[in-house]
Amino acid sequence: MNHIQRRFPRLLVIVAGVALIAAACSTTTPPTLPSNGPTASSAPATAAPSSAEPSTEPTASATTASSPTASAAPPTACAIEPQSGRLPSDRMTNAVVSTSAGADLVTFVFGDLSLPQPPQGASEGSLEAAEPPYTEGASGLPVDVTGEHVAIVRFTGMSLSNDVGQPTYDGTMDFRPDLAALRTVVNYDMSEGVIGWYIGYDGPGCITLSSDARSVTVAIDHPAG
């Protein structure tokens, strides 16, 4: 065997070793290649508008602020409901105008009965809406009543004087208070067993009639404050 033949097996061993190394390297996982499509980090900065740039579209809050709200609507006035009932007696002796936190008040005070059984029968009181023109009961002359709404309070079966001919009521006939709601309390009739009052007031409050053993009160609701 010459020297060339002796080197050939050694070359085969070297080639085989290289082949084994190459095969071993080929079994390892190849590195991940970057995608051809754009990734989140590679997207251009102009893909979304910058928060620093002003928007030309109106916002919901601006639209809401420019729209009228339901609370801006004026409140609906409370209708005057007819009311009636028995009076404490047939003698009205006083009328008092006052106010409280939630209502303006007109209190009509009554004394003792003229007789245990007055000949005119039971005395009654009523409240209802008044319709213009506002006039005196006997003369028909006009009566000045101020207020957005006007109610009429009427007492019937009344004794207008005592046993010696003195009037049972000789107080103020025309009140002009400047209260939250109440504007006018004016007498329009005091004759033939009838006492009548016009009550003028402003605002949407309800007006009610109530009584106890000595008085009848007209209450006109108004906002507290």
pLDDT computed for residue 74 by the predictor:
63
- Tokens matching residue 60: 């919901």
Measured between alpha carbons, how far is 106 from 186 in angstroms, rounded to an integer?
11
What residues contact residue 161 under an 8 Å CB cut-off, 6+ apart? 167, 168
Give every residue of the chain whose pLDDT is below 50, as ranges: 1-70
The structural domains of the chain, ordered by start, are 83-221 (2.60.40.3500)
Backbone angles phi and psi of 149, in degrees to 5:
-130, 150
pLDDT computed for residue 176 by the predictor:
98
- Tokens matching residue 154: 């009427």
pLDDT computed for residue 31 by the predictor:
40
Measured between alpha carbons, how far is 79 from 208 in angstroms, rounded to an integer?
11
- Tokens matching residue 143: 């009566």
pLDDT computed for residue 164 by the predictor:
85
Question: Is the Cβ–Cβ distance between 149 and 199 less than 8 Å?
Answer: no
pLDDT computed for residue 73 by the predictor:
63
Helix or strand (DSSP H, E) at 22: helix 3-26
Region for residue 121 given its phi and psi (left: phi exceeds 0; alpha: psi -120 to 50; beta: otherwise) = left
**Segment 46-65, tens digit of pLDDT:** 444 444 444 444 444 444 44
